[in-house]
Amino acid sequence: MADMGLAKILGHIEGRLWLVLGVLFLVSTTAYSVIRSAITIPMGIGDLLYLSIDWLAACIIYFFLGAMGGHILDWLTALFRRKRIGHPLWFWLTLLLWIVCSSVMALSKTSESAALILVFPLAYGMFFAGMAFTMLLPKAIVQSHYGKLLFDILFFSLFAAWLCLYLNRPKAMALLRILILLIFAVFFLGFYGCAKALG
């Protein structure tokens, strides 16, 4: 009975390890960041909610980093079974982001260690969205109390809209491309800001 239940679960996630690992990375990094911040700075319910939304938006990048690893496992599993699956645009954009981040930091005069440079998106990715926010919007909005909250909600809504469309309306290719390119434009801009700050 247990074997049948396990087989059923494995059947459901076959070819979708990218989604499982993506969600796992997003939830775990968000939860860890919120708990760490809450322990460091005591806060009320309102502040904790604000912080949770902030970290949820900041950790969207970890969904794609986890999903990239999951997609590679899906691809290898399919290859083992003599099947072929394509590599989606978000996979190539995530891989490109990783290569650009590590390459630029390796060529810069940063004092970061070689190991940290190699995994730069994992180490500093949570700062990309926040850095993009400060670079995109006027100083008055950046310094306002609700400016960052509004940006976080809009950015997460953008990500949620892309994911829902990707899972349910995969043929809406034009809209999917626009949404994913907007998301990664934020990541690349945020990386540029972080690289300047660290360099």
CA–CA distance, 20 with 62 (Å, rounded to integer): 12
- The tens digit of pLDDT for each residue in 131-147 reads 999 999 888 888 887 89
Element (H, E) at 110: none
Residue with tokens 């059947």: 11
Which helix (H) or strand (E) segment holds residue 147: the answer is helix 147-168
Helix (H) or strand (E) holding 163: helix 147-168
Nearest-angstrom CA–CA distance, 47 and 43 = 6
Pinpoint the alpha helices (H) of 16-88. 17-40, 45-58, 60-80
Q: CA 173, 174, 178: angle at the middle one, nearest 5?
A: 115
CA 171 to chain centre: 23
Higher pLDDT, 94 or 81: 94
Kindly indicate the confidence band of residue 95, based on its pLDDT and cuts at 50, 70 and 90. very high
Tokens representing 34 are 């919120």
User: CA-CA distance, 88 to 106, in Å (whole number)?
Assistant: 27
Give the mean model confidence (pLDDT) for residues 120-131: 91
Which residues have a Cβ under 8 Å from the Cβ of 36 and sit 6 or more positions away? none
Q: What band does 100 get if pLDDT is binned at 50, 70 and 90?
A: very high
CA distance 89 to 70: 15
CA distance 169 to 162: 10
Average pLDDT rounded to a whole number, residues 18-32? 96
| The pLDDT value given to residue 1 | 45
DSSP, residue by residue, 71-106: HHHHHHHHHHTT---PPPHHHHHHHHHHHHHHHHHH
pTM comes to 0.89
Total tally of structural domains belonging to the chain: 1
- What confidence score (pLDDT) does residue 2 get? 44
- Cβ-proximal residues to 43 (8 Å cutoff; 6+ apart), any chain: 51
Q: Which residue range(s) make up the domain with 178?
A: 2-198
What pLDDT is stored for residue 6 in this prediction?
A: 39
Rounded CA-CA distance 115/134 in Å is: 28
Mean predicted lDDT score pLDDT of the chain: 88
